[in-house]
Structure 1
Amino acid sequence: MWSKASVRADAEVRTAQADVESRRQIVKTRITELLGIKYPILQGGMAWVAECHLAAAVSNAGGFGIIGAASAPPEVVKEQIRETRKLTDKPFGVNVMLMNPNAAQVAQIVVEEGVKAVTTGAGNPAQFMPLWKEAGVKVIPVVASVAMAKLMERAGADAVVAEGMESGGHIGSATTMTLVPQVVDAVSIPVIAAGGIGDGRGFAAAFMLGAEGVQMGTRFCVAKEAITHEKYKERIIRAKDIDSEVTGMSHGHPIRCIRNQMTREYVRLEKEGAGLEELEQLTLGSLRKAVMEGDVTGGTVMAGQIAGLIHKEQTCEEIIQEIMTDGSRLLGVEK
C-alpha cells in the first residue's frame, strides 16, 4: 500500500509537472500554433524597411517575419517573396496595405506564391477573404478599435493585431494598454498586441493583458539585418522619450514619427489651416528619403514612442532571445 508520504510526494511531482507544462504554454500559444513558429513575436510590415533580409532573419530567429508590400508594384512583391524563401525555410508573411491600388494583384500573388499568412492594414480585407481562405492563407488584420476587431472576426479573420497609438506610422486613438484587453474580451480569436513594445517588460505586459503574441516594428528597424539607413537607425537609438511627434491630426490620418525639421514645418502648416494637398506635397517620398537615403532632417522618420528605450543595434536573433529571456522570467515561465 502507498504511504501518506509517498502519495503526497507523487501529488507534488504531478503538480510540478503541471506547472512546467503551464509555463511552456506561454510560449506555445494559439499564435505560435497558427503560424507554425517557435516564439510569439511578429515583425511589423513597415514600408521600405520590411523586406526580404529582415523578414528572413526574424523567421530564422524563431519569430514571424513579414514583407511590407506597402505601395510596391506587384512584381516587386513577388520578387521579395521569392528572395525571402531563398534565405529561410521558416514561415513568413506579407503585409498587404489595402489602400494600395495594386492590392488585388498583391492578394493574388500571395496565393500563387504559397505565402503562409498575411497581415492587413488601411482598410477592410473582406473582399479578399474568400480568395485567401480557400488557399489556406491565415489572415491577421491590424485593428485600432474593438468595433473593427469584431468586424474582422465576423469576416473570417484568424487573429487580429490590436495596435495602440504608441506605435510608429499610421495610428489610431486608443493606447495599447486600453485597447488590447478590450479587444481580448470582445473576440474569441487570438489577439496580438502592438504599439510601445520593445523589450521583455512590454512582452510580459502584453500577455498579462490577454494577448497571445506581440508585434514589433521600431525595435526591428534597428536590427543589423535591416536595410534601414544607418542615420535612420542612429536617430532611433539617440531618441529620447519626448522625441515622438504626431502629424496629420487635422485631416484624420495621424502618423507618428520622430520630431525633426519636417514635422515642425508640417505641424506649423496644420495650425495655419493648410489643405491636404499642400501637406501631402511636403511629405511626398519623405519616408523613402529617410529610410533609404538617411535624410533624417527633411524625411519622415517613422518610429513608435518606444524609440527612447532602444539603445543599440542588434541582430534579430539577439533581439528575440533577449525579449524571450526577459519576458519569460518576468512571467515566471520557461522560455
Structure 2
Amino acid sequence: MNQSLIEQIGIDYPIIQGAMSWVASPSLAAAVSNAGGLGMLGSGHEPAEVVRKSIKETKKLTDKPFGVNVLLLSPYVDDVVDVICEENIKVITTGAGTPGKYMKRFKEAGITVIPVVASVALARRMEKEGADAIICEGMEAGGHIGKLTTMTLVPQVVDAVSIPVIAAGGIGDGRGMAAAIMLGAAAVQLGTRFVVAHESIAHDTFKQRIIKARDIDTVVTGMVTGHPVRVLRNKLTKEYLKVEKSISSDANPDFTRLEELAKGSLRKAVVEGDKDSGSFMSGQIAGLVTKEQSCHDIIQELMEEYDELVKHPKLF
C-alpha cells in the first residue's frame, strides 16, 4: 500500500468519504475523520457563508483532518475558495471542471488538491495543472458518472500519471478495497456505504432503500442529456426514462420536462425521503450494503476484511 498519500493527508487509513450533495454534512465528515478516514464536506451550490458554517461546525466535532469538495460550476465558487483558504482547510476534492484557475492559491495555502476524473486524458491534464492526487471514479458509482468502469479506469490512470490515484465507484467492502489497491490505487473513496452510516443525515427511507437494494436495482438516467446519473429505481426514474426515450431521436430535443422532473429531486430523497419523486443516488454496490453501522464500525470492518485478504489471499 502506498503510504505517501496517507501521510500527506494525515489520516490513519486509506479511506475517503465521498462528498455527496446533501449527505456529506458536518456530522458525517467528522465521524469518518474521527474513525481514521478522511471525512469530506460537500459544498455543492451553497453560498460561501453556508460552507463556512459547515466547516466551523465540523471543527467543533473533530480535531482530525477533513476536507471540502469544491463544485467548480457553482456560482459561488470564487467565494467558496476564499473561505476554504481562510479556514485553513488542508484537503479539497474538485468536480465539474478544472481547478487550474485556483491552483496557485491552493498551493500557497498548503492545500492538497485532489480532482475527481473519469478518463485518462483528464487525469493527465489535472497532473499537469498541479494536482497532488487523482480520484478515478468508475461508472459503478452513484450520482453523476462517466463511461468507464473502475476496473478498467484505475489501472490505466495509474500507468498514465505519477501522482497517487484514489479508486472510487463500486467499492463497498474490504474485497473491493483490496482489488483497488492491487490495481495500483493508493486509497479508496466510498459513497453509498457511508449514506447508511448512523451519523449520516440521509432520511431513513433513503437508507432503507439502499439496504434493501438488489444488484439490479440501480439505473442510469440522463444519457440523452450528456450528464448521466446513477440512481435507485422508482416512479421518478420510470417517468424520466420514458421522457428520455420519447425525445432521444429528436434532432433538437427539448429537455424542459426532464428538468422539471429533476428539479429538487435529490433534496426530496435525502431530506424528505420521498420514495416516489426523490432521486436516490446510489452506486451499484448497494446490493452489498445490508446494515446501518457507525462510521467507526464501517471503517474497521473494511480494514479487517482488507488485512485478512492481504495476509491470507484466497487462491483458486
Normalised by the shorter chain, which TM-score bucket?
A: over 0.9
Structure 1 CA distance for aligned equivalents of residues 294 and 254 of structure 2 = 42
The residue that corresponds to 1:9 in the other structure is: none
Structure 2 CA distance for aligned equivalents of residues 192 and 141 of structure 1 = 10
Letter in 2 for 1:298: S
The answer as to 2:306 corresponding to 1:332 is no
Q: Kindly report which structure 2 residues correspond to 1:211-250, keeping only aligned pairs within 5 A, or say none.
A: 211-250=185-224
The answer as to 2:277 corresponding to 1:293 is no
Structure 1 CA distance for aligned equivalents of residues 46 and 311 of structure 2 = 43
The residue that corresponds to 2:72 in the other structure is: 98
User: How far did residue 296 of structure 1 move?
Assistant: 2.0
The residue that corresponds to 1:82 in the other structure is: 56
Deviation per CA, 1:223-276, whole angstroms, max 9, x where unpaired?
000000000000000000000110000010000000100001000000000622
The residue that corresponds to 1:315 in the other structure is: 294
Q: How many residues align?
A: 307
The residue that corresponds to 1:167 in the other structure is: 141
Q: With the length of structure 1 as denominator, give the TM-score of the two structures.
A: 0.90
Q: Kindly report which structure 2 residues correspond to 1:110-129, keeping only aligned pairs within 5 A, or say none.
A: 110-129=84-103
The answer as to 2:131 corresponding to 1:157 is yes
User: How far did residue 331 of structure 1 move?
Assistant: 1.6
1:44 to 1, 4, 18: 18
Q: Is the radius of gyration larger for structure 1 or structure 2?
A: 1
The residue that corresponds to 1:304 in the other structure is: 283
CA RMSD of aligned residues (A): 0.9
Q: Kindly report which structure 2 residues correspond to 1:200-279, keeping only aligned pairs within 5 A, or say none.
A: 200-273=174-247, 275-279=254-258
Q: Secondary structure at the match of 1:45?
A: coil
The answer as to 2:117 corresponding to 1:143 is yes
Q: Secondary structure at the match of 1:299?
A: coil
Unaligned runs of 5+ in 2: 248-252
User: How far did residue 329 of structure 1 move?
Assistant: 1.2
Letter in 2 for 1:40: P
Higher relative helix content? 1
Letter in 2 for 1:60: N
Q: Secondary structure at the match of 1:272?
A: helix
The residue that corresponds to 2:33 in the other structure is: 59
Q: Secondary structure at the match of 2:259?
A: helix
Q: Secondary structure at the match of 1:115?
A: coil
User: How far did residue 156 of structure 1 move?
Assistant: 0.2
Structure 1 CA distance for aligned equivalents of residues 254 and 233 of structure 2 = 21
Structure 2 CA distance for aligned equivalents of residues 268 and 181 of structure 1 = 36
Q: With the length of structure 2 as denominator, give the TM-score of the two structures.
A: 0.96
Letter in 2 for 1:167: A
